[in-house]
Amino acid sequence: MVPQSHLFAQVYQDNVYAEGCKFHSFKKVLMELGEPYCHMELASFMSCSKGYMGECGLRGGYAELINLDPQVKAMYLKSISAKLCPTTLGQAVMECVVNPPREGELSYDQFMAEKSAVLASLAERAKMVVETFNAVPGMSCNTVQGAMYAFPQIQLPPKAVEAAKAAGQAPDVFYAFQLLENTGICIVPGTGFGQRPGTYHFRTTVLPQPELLKTMLEKFREFHANFVNQYQ
């Protein structure tokens, strides 16, 4: 029996920061596993609005379909052919993503220098975020191995949980709104991703430029201390 289908977005394949970690293509893994996994249905996606490019306002991408049921694939192709195509600008950027300068070409050295600088800066910012949150009492954060987000866990005082309940909000949602109203910092409550009962976390990004990120993290540290003191 062939295992079930899977859909994967691999748009962060260049954004791998943690020491000893590297990107592994799901397609490559399936093929290496052999029977029956190599026959699994697989859809892999790439986008120019993520990864080291980070052109968030430009929409363009592609998908590779492996072992897809012919009838399902036919309906998929029918559905996308009925939609409007991406903007010309998005298509132009996608061309640059899939066909970057090659060694020996005039722009290759500049391209590699800029790409390396972007990825090195993101890696440093990811480290800064983790170190800051792990230094705040009542907060903990796993190493950001890649991509652009961190998912710190927070310990909320019982009175804060009660205040959230009185406000008709989940505790982490209550925390996120308080953070936004007091600092202007926007995070995504862990409730939106699912979490173990009685635990709370949130998602934040590592994208702000280093100096702005330092300011944001300092505001975050100060807010959390005040929040905990308020509800002790």
DSSP H stretches of helix in 22-69: 26-33
Question: pTM, whole model, 2 decimals?
Answer: 0.82
Instruction: Name the pLDDT band for 8 (thresholds 50, 70, 90).
Output: low
- The domain segmentation of the chain, as residue ranges, is 6-98, 121-230
- The helix, strand and coil proportions of the chain, stated in percent and rounded to the nearest 5, come to 45, 15, 40
Instruction: Report residue 131 as tokens.
Output: 């170190």
- Encode pLDDT of 170-188 as tens digits: 999 999 999 999 999 999 9
Question: How far apart are alpha carbons 179 and 169 in whole angstroms?
Answer: 14
Beta bridge pairs of residue 201: 153
Q: Is the Cβ–Cβ distance between 12 and 48 less than 8 Å?
A: no
Among the four given CATH numbers 3.20.20.110, 3.20.20.70, 3.90.1150.10, 3.40.390.30, the one describing domain 121-230? 3.90.1150.10
- Encode pLDDT of 140-157 as tens digits: 999 999 988 999 999 999
pLDDT at 161: 95
Identify the CA nearest to 45 among candidates 78, 81, 89, 12: 12
Is the model's pLDDT at 222 over the cut of 70?
yes
Question: For the structural domain made of 6-98, what CATH number should be given?
Answer: 3.40.640.10
